[in-house]
Structure 1
Amino acid sequence: MTDITADIIADLGFADAIGQLRSTIETWVMGQGTDMRPMLEWQFLAPSKYFRPLTIFACHHAVTGEPATPQLVRSAVVLEMLHNVSLIIDDILDASPTRRGKATLHARFGQLPALMASGHIVAEAYRMVADDPHDITLCSALLTRLGIAECMQWRLRRQPLGIEDWRDIAGEDTGSMFETCACLATRDDSLRRFGGLLGTLYHGCDDVGDVRGLASLGGGGEEDLRDGILTLPAAIAIRDPHIRESFCKPSPSPDELATISDAMKAALPEAEAELDRLATEASWDAQVHSSHPAVLLALVAHTRGLADR
């Protein structure tokens, strides 16, 4: 795992649960066939943030006050598998050669093998939860929402949209993943809204970190700028009609892209204020809907801090 999230995991008291999760993933990877195992080792056995499993364990503790159960660890493993499927597909779509300084799966093994590996991972995830209709239902809904979110984000690129539009997109993209984490943890909808807010906050921190050149979240700032994706800083920057005109062009020139990038850097203070509002909303929701909110409040604070690390 990365040093940043390792510190967060230790601070929140979930090192043992994350250790069980990683051990389960390693055992699964090593049990796969010779054609798939090298790709799965490359994708899963490298350092990982494990922020989504951490959210599952935190939400479970916030409601029950209890440590992670074997069933919960299995749910977290499956969610981490589906998250990696989304990363593989995103990297192919964005034509990203690296992620956090390491070659992406399709860059290392080829696009067709990477696509086949993503299908294999989905099938294995469903096999793991074959006896749990609750988890199957949540995972199916998540994959549906992620597919729609990706299409929506692509359809709305280079459009003169604003912060509310960004929140809608981020809520269906990263927000849906964290909503699923919360519902897997509690096995009800009590923390669904909290999960959505936390995921939107995480998405926004990723956007801000990209503009700052931070590597901690592993996002794709250059690709987003190139493709006209509506990030949080972009939604603020394009209020300027001249920036908006360049942003909405089918193929902005290198000079125009540089100007947009500068405008996004100038938008960072307002983007930070929006992140603060999201963090406040998430913290309020945690206090209202959980019996042991301290762990969730700490998780929100750590998430908010990722934009600065």
Structure 2
Amino acid sequence: MEMTCIDTDQELAETARRTSKNLLQRMEQHLRTFLSAEHELWTAVDERAVGAVDALSELVAAGGKRIRPAFCIAGYLAADGDPENPAVVTAAAALEMLHVSALIHDDIIDASSHRRGLPTVHAHHSALHTRRAWQGEARRFGEGVALLVGDLALVYSEQLMAHAPAAVVPVWNRLRSELMIGQYMDMSAAAEFCVDPQLSRWIALAKSGHYTIHRPLAVGASAAGRPDLAPAFEKYGEAVGEAFQLRDDLLDAFGDSADTGKPAGLDFSQHKMTLLLGWAMQRDERIHSLITTPGHTPEEVRRHLVDTGVPHDIEKHIADLVEQGCAALADTPIDPVWRTELTHMATRVAYRTA
């Protein structure tokens, strides 16, 4: 009898994962179909008009982890949402399109040269301007194009979310404003570059805790008509999202750009006041001087960070956050299969290598 129960649990878990994977694949197809239709629409206007759409399509096609759509779908299915209802597919697609918008703008802010293993939108168009010897300044042209492509993605995200149930609107609105304010605060903190762990944690929550995990889960639950899950998803999402951001900080500092698809050490060069750097500078004031001194190398900063012991402490904090997040689901009225799956998802995002 016990073996039968285990087999049944495993079958249910496999079914849940297959359903989630199928919805993610449908989301990918929906994005491709949507962008293809936009390509045809603007080709009919002028062959040059498709440039912005094509730049967006290339970035979407380049891949990405699709974390936000995955959590949206998980929240929807955990809330007993009907997998045949196309509403969750469009909601997940809207979240990914919003993320693409944020990435394009973020790359301008950070002066990043690569994203998902390809030249960033602004870097590509700056180089195009130079190769073709066009008028004006190549850098301004590239950044201007990227701003517009990012804005186009923002417009498309709204068009996509318009097909989701009206119940998602409040959380969708909060998610977007939170993201923008979080980005603004991130820039301000980088400019001031003052040690403020409390501010660093708030930024991490706004940009990852809420934006990456909590709000996508809430969008999914709202689309399924289960707003009662919001408190548990908030506790889970904030904890797991902070763990996600801390892993991102560690990957930026110590990761391999061949794996991450973007330059390493950007947080150093852009003076990002991450929790990792904030804690390290509390222990060793020389790190602040090192990062703000022109000509420093990422290797130098890494050595000092390791000497403080902060990376090790961050790893312990990540483990605690994952445990806290999963504990928040203990008494949540969802199928145990999805409680287990969300636990697995928390581990995957907190301990990813790219």
Q: With structure 1 as the length reference, what TM-score do the two structures score?
A: 0.86
Aligned twin of 1:128 = 160
Bigger Cα displacement from structure 2, 258-267 vs 79-88: 258-267
Matches within 5 A, 1:239-278: 239-246=282-289, 251-255=292-296, 258-266=299-307, 267-278=310-321
For residues 343 and 215 of structure 2, the distance between their equivalents in structure 1, rounded to whole angstroms, comes to: 19
The number of equivalent residue pairs is: 297
Aligned twin of 2:187 = 154
Bigger Cα displacement from structure 2, 103-112 vs 74-83: 103-112
| Matched residue SS, 1:96 | coil
Matches within 5 A, 1:1-309: 12-13=17-18, 14-32=20-38, 33-34=42-43, 35=50, 36-64=52-80, 67=83, 69-109=85-125, 110-130=142-162, 132-157=165-190, 158-162=193-197, 164-177=198-211, 178-187=213-222, 188=227, 189-190=230-231, 191-215=233-257, 216-217=259-260, 221-246=264-289, 251-255=292-296, 258-266=299-307, 267-292=310-335, 293-306=339-352, 308=353
Distance apart, 1:107 and its partner CA: 1.5
Are the structure 2 counterparts of residues 10 and 93 from structure 1 closer, same or farther at C-alpha, using a change threshold of 3 Å? farther
1:46-100 per-position Cα deviation (integer Å, ceiling 9, x unaligned): 1221111111122223332864631111100001110111101100101111013
Distance apart, 1:283 and its partner CA: 0.7
How many percent of aligned residue pairs carry the same amino acid? Answer: 20
For residues 228 and 210 of structure 1, the distance between their equivalents in structure 2, rounded to whole angstroms, comes to: 12
For residues 306 and 116 of structure 2, the distance between their equivalents in structure 1, rounded to whole angstroms, comes to: 21
Question: Looking at CA atoms only, which structure, 1 or 2, has the larger radius of gyration?
Answer: 2
Are the structure 2 counterparts of residues 242 and 97 from structure 1 closer, same or farther at C-alpha, using a change threshold of 3 Å? same
Distance apart, 1:224 and its partner CA: 1.0
Bigger Cα displacement from structure 2, 262-271 vs 69-78: 262-271
Are the structure 2 counterparts of residues 69 and 11 from structure 1 closer, same or farther at C-alpha, using a change threshold of 3 Å? closer
| Matched residue SS, 1:289 | coil
For residues 99 and 112 of structure 2, the distance between their equivalents in structure 1, rounded to whole angstroms, comes to: 17
For residues 219 and 283 of structure 1, the distance between their equivalents in structure 2, rounded to whole angstroms, comes to: 30
Are the structure 2 counterparts of residues 186 and 286 from structure 1 closer, same or farther at C-alpha, using a change threshold of 3 Å? same
- Long gaps (5+) in structure 1: 1-8
| Matched residue SS, 2:293 | coil
Kept after mapping to 2: 8 A contact 1:207/1:233: yes
For residues 260 and 179 of structure 2, the distance between their equivalents in structure 1, rounded to whole angstroms, comes to: 19
For residues 270 and 10 of structure 1, the distance between their equivalents in structure 2, rounded to whole angstroms, comes to: 38
1:14-50 per-position Cα deviation (integer Å, ceiling 9, x unaligned): 3211110100000011111232331122121112211
Are the structure 2 counterparts of residues 180 and 262 from structure 1 closer, same or farther at C-alpha, using a change threshold of 3 Å? same
Bigger Cα displacement from structure 2, 117-126 vs 179-188: 117-126
For residues 334 and 16 of structure 2, the distance between their equivalents in structure 1, rounded to whole angstroms, comes to: 20
Are the structure 2 counterparts of residues 62 and 225 from structure 1 closer, same or farther at C-alpha, using a change threshold of 3 Å? same
1:180-234 per-position Cα deviation (integer Å, ceiling 9, x unaligned): 2011111122413322222221111111122222445556642210122122321
Are the structure 2 counterparts of residues 219 and 179 from structure 1 closer, same or farther at C-alpha, using a change threshold of 3 Å? farther
Distance apart, 1:271 and its partner CA: 0.9
| Matched residue SS, 1:90 | helix
Kept after mapping to 2: 8 A contact 1:208/1:233: yes
Are the structure 2 counterparts of residues 254 and 261 from structure 1 closer, same or farther at C-alpha, using a change threshold of 3 Å? farther
Kept after mapping to 1: 8 A contact 2:254/2:302: no
- What amino acid is the match of 1:263? H
Aligned twin of 1:3 = none
| Matched residue SS, 1:144 | helix
Moved over 6 A (4+): none
Q: With structure 2 as the length reference, what TM-score do the two structures score?
A: 0.76
Kept after mapping to 1: 8 A contact 2:287/2:304: no
For residues 106 and 68 of structure 1, the distance between their equivalents in structure 2, rounded to whole angstroms, comes to: 39
